[in-house]
Structure 1
Amino acid sequence: MFYLLIGIVLLVAVLTLARNFVHANPAALARQLRTFAGVFMIALAGFFAVTGRFAFALPAFGLGVMLLRQHVFPGLSGGYKPQKSSGQRSRVRTAMVEMELDHDSGAMTGTVLAGGFQGRGLDDLNDQELETFWRESGQDEQSQKLVEAYLDRRLAGWREHFQTDGTERQGSSPSAGPMTDEEAYQILGLTPEAGDAEIRAAHRRLMMRVHPDQGGSGFLAAKINEAKDTLLRRH
């Protein structure tokens, strides 16, 4: 009976592969081969078990499960793997500008919310316009800090070109009030369903991008730390 079962499994596998071989892409074909090989090894393990050859049954069963678990039984792979969607982005918003940071590339983009360039993206502003907006943002210290974080990435030596007065405000800027949960989730690029492990993982990932020791922004690093602390206190 088991010989017949194995023969049927092989026949179905061969017919299915023959039918899909011409049009299947290589990745899909490889997944199918893995699945069929896993099913065959488990069936073979059953045959060995029924015939009393347990020394062969256990290795065959283990190999079959190993072949299947990646695509059929992904939960058997074990270990904690935080979900991280491709293109995950963090968002920081102040009175005059909203900035986004891509978690994968570290690229920073921004949109002007108030002032003479309202509605325009920072990437669309030329150097002279950026200088003008940077000076406008001086009316709100947090906004200016955020603009400076963008300038540090886009224009090397911008402080000299923009003829600053030499007084660099490296300390933490005054907060507009306690950070809300919504703001904290946006800064870390997470949803309210995120647990403590995901919050800590997002914090570590972002700090590698923006920490001042890595040439990043002290203002953004402070915001990311505040977001982590805010959410962990709630949890």
Structure 2
Amino acid sequence: MQFFLLGLAALVLALFAISGFTRANPAAMARQMRLAGGALALGASAIFLVRGMAGPAALLGMLGSWLLGWSGRAPAGWGGSSPKSSGQTSTVTTEHLAMELDHDSGAMSGRVLKGMFAGRNLDSLKPAEVALLWHDCRFVDPQSAQLLEAYLDRIHPSWREDVSRGEREMRDHDGRMQPDEAYEILGLSPGASDEEIRRAHRDLMLKLHPDRGGSTYLAAQVNEAKDVLLNQR
């Protein structure tokens, strides 16, 4: 019940802020927009928390608190009770990630805990590599996937379109992988023999298999590439 009331209060705050837009001066409007964003973030955080999605709830709660300029205690369950000061950060940990939010700038950073990029900082990865990590997390670790979505939205806002375009380019209109793309994935030239296809598949799977810290998504692509090339014979 307390989370429902928190979400309701957030919506009311947002409506009050929006109602004053038309008569506010620029400075007041900017402040109201910040308050509305903070209220909505807290409302969404409450909804995620009720649904058991602690990672996104924590991140949205941090963002909402920062936008509202709260300097008191952190929301229950999100850790921390000391007054907010310049340079303060908050962290949230999931199966694949340890994420950090800077209260002053709203910037997000993090470290990969599991998978083929384990031990690396997110800011050392290219957007395409972060998207690959998102592919691996979106079914097995939804909390990490949602944090990665928020991170990618900040550093590369067009990432969803880029991912969709790349997937369309590698498949025909029926959604099947093209042979040319299959050869490229396996690192082979068109006309490679069945034995060369199987050997390339085996070598790549030794590097990419999830049980060896590889990528679930890439391993699936390698398997599909082998099937496409062998079945066309």
Structure 1 length-normalised TM: 0.34
- TM-score normalised by L of structure 2: 0.34
Of structures 1 and 2, the one scoring higher in RCO (CA 8 A, sep 6+) is: 1
